[in-house]
Amino acid sequence: MKSGRPRISFPFAGWLLWAAAAANFPGAGSAAPPPVPGFLPPQSQILSDMVLADNNFTNDWPVPGCAACLPKSHPSTIWTRGAYFEGALALYRINHDTNIYNYAAQWGAFTNWTLRSGDTDTDPDDQDAGQEYIELYLMDTTQTNRLTHIANNVNYWMQNQTGLREWTYVDSLHMSMPAFAKLGALDSNTIPALQTNATYTPEMYSFFHNIKSVYGKSNGLYNLTDHLWWRDTTFLSNYTASDGTRQKCYWSRGNGWAMVALCRTMDVLPSSDPHYPEYLQTFQDMAAAVKAAQRPDGFWNMNLAYTNDYPGPEASGTSCFVYGMAWGINHGCLAASDYLPAVISGWNALSNGALHRGNDTTNGPGFLGYEQSTGDAPTNNPPVTHDSAPDYTDFGVGLFLLAGAEVCALSGDTGITLDPPVVGASQVQLNFTVISSQTNATLNLLQTSQLGATWTTNASATFSTNLAGLSYAFTTTNSPGAMFYRVVVGP
C-alpha cells in the first residue's frame, strides 16, 4: 500500500472492471451519534437517515395517488410529487424495499401513467412525473403501458418545437430535459410511440442551447462568467435583496435544478453524443462556482450571489448540490480531492442540521427543516427555519434522497472511497481514499469474477493513521475477464 494523491482519470463509461462496495444495510434506527466533523458516516447510517426521511413522508401520505391530494387541491402528478419519486426510486435501488416500489407503482397506476394535462401538455413541470414513469418501466419492462403517454407527450413537443417556447426558466431543465434523454436511451422498438433513438437527444439539445445561450436579451439564462443560472429573465438585472440593496440573484434551488438535470441527463446519455462535452463542461464549471459559494456550516444560502439576502441555511438547494458533486465524483467527472470535502460538509449539514431525529416532538422524526417552499426566488415564503414546514413537503424529501443515494455510493460501508480500477497490461491499480477514521486497521482487497459469487482476499495492508482524505492504492495482477473489487476492514 502506498500513499499519494487520488487518481480520478478514468473515462465516464465503458469499464471492463468495476469497484463494488461491501454493504449490509440495517433498517432505519433511532437517533445516531453525529459523525466526526469532516468525515462521512458509514453507508448504514446514511441509508438509515434516508429511510427515516422517507418514512416520515409516506406516513403522512399513505395513499400514493389521488385526484387532488396535495395542498391547494393539486393532483399528484405535479412536479413536486415527481421530484419525490426521483429520490424514492433512488432509495429503492439501494435497499430494494418492495414497499417503495409498490408505493410508486400504485401512484403511476392511479394516474394511468398520464401527465397532468394529457398527451398535449405543454408545461415542462408536468414532464417530471413522466421521467418516473420511464424509470418504473425500466424496473418492469413487461409494463410498456408506462411509457405510452410520456412518449406521446415528448413526441408532441418535438413536432411543435414546444421547448423553444416553454423552456424559459431554469427549473424547466430539471423537469423536462431528462425525459428526452431517458426516451432516447430506450430501444425504439419497445412501443410504437417511440421514435428512433437519434431523434430525442438532438431536439433536447436545441431546447437546451436556446435557454442557455439564446433566450432573452442577455443571450441565455446562463452567465458565462459566473457559471451560474439566472432563474428567468426577470433576474437579468439586479433585484432588491432582503436588506434593501440592489444585488445579483442566483437562486440556490434554481441552480440546483440545473445541476440535477445535467447529472440525470448524462446518466443515460452516451458519452459519444456530440453535445455530451458541452453538458459535461457546463456541469464542471457550475460545480466549481457552487463549491465556492458553500457556507462554513456546509449548507448553501438561498441566494448564491449575496449572502445577506435572507441569510441562513437552505436544504433543498443544498441537497441538489451534494447530489451533483457526489454524482460527479462517482462518475469520474469531478476530482475527489477537490470536491469530497464539500460533499462531506454538505451531507453532514443535511443529516445533522436539517433532519429531525427521535427527540423531535413538533414535526416527527425524519422531518426535514430549512426547506424553502415552492417559488422562484429567495423572497418566497420566508422565514426558512429548522422547524418551518414548506407548502409542499414531497420535493425536498426527494432531493434529500437523491443526495443520500449518491453519497451512499461514495461512502463505502467502512468510510472508504474506491475509484474504478486503473488497468495496465499486467496489473490493476486500485486507488482509494480513506474518508473515515481508521487507526491501525487491516484493509483487505477482495475480488470476485464477473459471474462468481465468492469473494477472495487478494491483498491486505495495515493502515496506521487516522487522517482523513489520504489516498492509497492496492496493486494486483490483471486477471482476464471482468473483475469486481472492494476494500474492507478486516479482522
Q: What percent of the chain has pLDDT over 90?
A: 65
Least confident of 85-94, 160-169, 233-242, 475-484: 475-484
Across the chain, mean pLDDT equals: 85
Q: Show me where the domains of the chain are located.
A: 23-411, 418-489
Q: 15 pLDDT exceeds 60?
A: no
Range in 64-78, 200-214, 242-256, 301-315 with the lowest mean pLDDT: 64-78
Rg of the chain over all Cα atoms, to the nearest angstrom: 22
Distance CA 267, CA 263 (A): 6
pLDDT in tens, 185-238: 999 999 999 997 779 999 999 999 999 999 998 899 999 999 999 999 999 999
In this prediction, residue 436 carries a pLDDT of 62
d(CA 479, CA 427): 8
pLDDT at 422: 75
Query: Are 481 and 468 contacting, i.e. CB atoms less than 8 angstroms apart?
Result: no
Q: Which residue has the higher pLDDT, 24 or 192?
A: 192
As a whole number of angstroms, the distance between CA 375 and CA 251 comes to: 10
Mean pLDDT of 144-154: 98
Amino acid symbol at 422: V
- Nearest alpha-carbon partner for 103 in 151, 59, 46: 59
Other CB atoms closer than 10 Å to residue 83's CB: what's the count? 29
pLDDT at 414: 53
Given this model, what pLDDT does residue 358 score? Answer: 80
pLDDT recorded at residue 16: 23
- Min mean pLDDT across 65-79, 109-123, 261-275 is at 65-79
pLDDT tens for 305-343 read 999 999 999 999 999 999 999 999 989 899 887 888 899
Of the listed ranges 41-50, 135-144, 191-200, 385-394, the one predicted with least confidence: 41-50
Q: Determine the CATH number of domain 23-411.
A: 1.50.10.10
pLDDT of residue 95: 84
Render pLDDT for 404-463 as a digit per residue (tens, 0 to 9): 999 988 865 456 666 666 777 788 887 777 666 666 677 777 777 655 556 777 777 776
Q: Which residues of 12-31 are buried (b: 16+ CB within 10 A; e: fewer)?
A: eeeeebebebbbebeebeee
Task: Tell me the residue type at 466.
Answer: N
Q: What is the mean pLDDT of residues 388-410?
A: 95
User: Is 17's pLDDT higher than 70?
Assistant: no
| Of 89 and 459, the one with more pLDDT | 89
Is 151 in contact with 183 (CB distance < 8 Å)?
Answer: yes
| Residue 367 CB burial class (10 angstroms; 0-12, 13-18, ≥19) | buried
pLDDT category, 12, cuts 50, 70, 90? very low
Q: In which band, very low, low, confident or very high, does the pLDDT at 38 lie, cut at 50, 70 and 90?
A: low
User: What's the per-residue H, E or C state across the chain?
Assistant: CEEECCCCCCCCCCCCCEECCCCCCCCCCCCCCCCCCCCCCCHHHHHHHHHHHHHHHHHHCCCCCCCCCEHHHECCCCHHHHHHHHHHHHHHHHHCCHHHHHHHHHHHHHCCCCCCCCCCCCCHHHHHHHHHHHHHHHHCCCCCHHHHHHHHHHHHHHHHCHHHHHCCCCHHHHHHHHHHHHHHCCCCCCCCCCCCHHHHHHHHHHHHHHHHHCCCCCCCCEECCCCEECCCHHHCCCEECCCCCEECCCEHHHHHHHHHHHHHHHCCCCCCCCCHHHHHHHHHHHHHHHHHCCCCCCCECCECCCCCCCCCCEHHHHHHHHHHHHHHHHCCCCCHHHHHHHHHHHHHHHHHHHECCCCCCCCCCCCECCCCCCCCCCCCCCCCCCCCCCCCCHHHHHHHHHHHHHHHHHHCCCCEEECCCEECCCEEEEEEEECCCCCCEEEEEEEEECCCCCCEEEEEEEECCCCCCEEEEEEEECCCCCEEEEEEECC
Give the pLDDT band of residue 45 (cuts 50, 70, 90).
confident
C-beta of residue 300 within 8 angstroms of C-beta of residue 371: no
